[in-house]
């Protein structure tokens, strides 16, 4: 068999992907031996995989930050609406500030809940352990809420930055 590109040259290898003959010069261009067309195809496929992995990476960081925001906003919104309705019905507006602070706390607690996942030691055989775990996590969510929000924001920002700079490296 002769080289597909140089018909006067004896083939020393075949393209790993399409099987055409390659002479010494053509075979040495790529490792493993590939014709230029198949090498190009492989490169484009690798580029596509890389872009996809990058997108998935960014998406998971986005989810970690945006999902608790959406969830927290919904809970906070419900608390505020309930508070407003209660105030209108009772005419007692002093409880509104309490409801507002509950809404703000509820918003941040969702971040604390995610961050305190290490305290989620559930044991199906023991209900008490499960209850203690949940109580502990709620307490931790309360304490860690605001720092957890900033920590998640920081991590998200870093992820976006990393994703932007990775191609320049
Ligand atoms: Zn080929
Ligand atoms: Zn050749």
- What separation in angstroms does the CA of 68 have from each of 29, 103, 112? 51, 14, 10
Q: What's the 17 CA to ligand 1 centre distance in angstroms?
A: 5
Handedness of CA 147, 149, 155, 158 (dihedral sign): negative
- Any idea which residue has 């055989």 for tokens? 125
Residue 81 binned pLDDT confidence (cut-offs 50, 70, 90): very high
Q: What's the 6 CA to ligand 1 centre distance in angstroms?
A: 14
Q: What's the 16 CA to ligand 2 centre distance in angstroms?
A: 15
- Ligand closest to 22 (CA) is 2
Provide the whole-model pTM: 0.63
| 3-class DSSP state of 23 | coil
Q: State residue 44's pLDDT score.
A: 96
Q: Do the beta carbons of residue 119 and residue 137 sit within 8 Å? A: yes
Q: What's the 22 CA to ligand 2 centre distance in angstroms?
A: 5
- Ligand closest to 30 (CA) is 1
Q: What's the 4 CA to ligand 2 centre distance in angstroms?
A: 6
Q: State residue 1's pLDDT score.
A: 92
List, as own/partner pairs, every contact residues 159-165 make where C-beta atoms lie below 8 angstroms and the sequence separation is at least 24, other chains included.
159/57, 159/58, 159/61, 160/58, 160/61, 163/54, 163/57, 163/58
Q: State residue 123's pLDDT score.
A: 64
Q: What's the 10 CA to ligand 1 centre distance in angstroms?
A: 17
Residue count of the chain: 169
Mean pLDDT of 69-75: 90
Q: What's the 15 CA to ligand 2 centre distance in angstroms?
A: 11
- Asked if pLDDT for residue 134 goes beyond 90, the answer is no
Mean pLDDT rounded to a whole number for the chain: 89
- Ligand closest to 23 (CA) is 2
Q: State residue 57's pLDDT score.
A: 83
Mean pLDDT of 153-162: 87
**Residues around the ion ligand 1 (C-beta < 5 A):** 15, 17-18, 35, 38
């Amino acid at each position: 068999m002769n080289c597909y590109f140089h018909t006067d040259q004896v083939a020393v290898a075949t393209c790993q992907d399409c099987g055409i003959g390659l002479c010494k010069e053509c075979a040495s261009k790529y490792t493993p031996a590939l014709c230029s067309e198949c090498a190009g195809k492989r490169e484009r496929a690798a580029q596509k995989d890389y872009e996809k992995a990058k997108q998935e990476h960014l998406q998971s960081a986005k989810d970690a930050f945006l999902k608790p925001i959406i969830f927290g906003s919904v809970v906070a919104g419900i608390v505020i609406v309930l508070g407003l309705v209660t105030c209108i019905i009772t005419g007692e507006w002093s409880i509104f500030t309490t409801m507002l602070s509950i809404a703000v706390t509820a918003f941040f607690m969702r971040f604390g809940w995610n961050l305190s996942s290490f305290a989620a030691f559930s044991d199906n055989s023991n209900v008490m352990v499960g209850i203690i775990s949940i109580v502990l996590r709620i307490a931790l969510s309360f304490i860690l809420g605001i720092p957890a929000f900033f920590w998640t924001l920081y991590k998200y920002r870093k992820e976006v930055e990393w994703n932007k700079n990775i191609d320049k490296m």
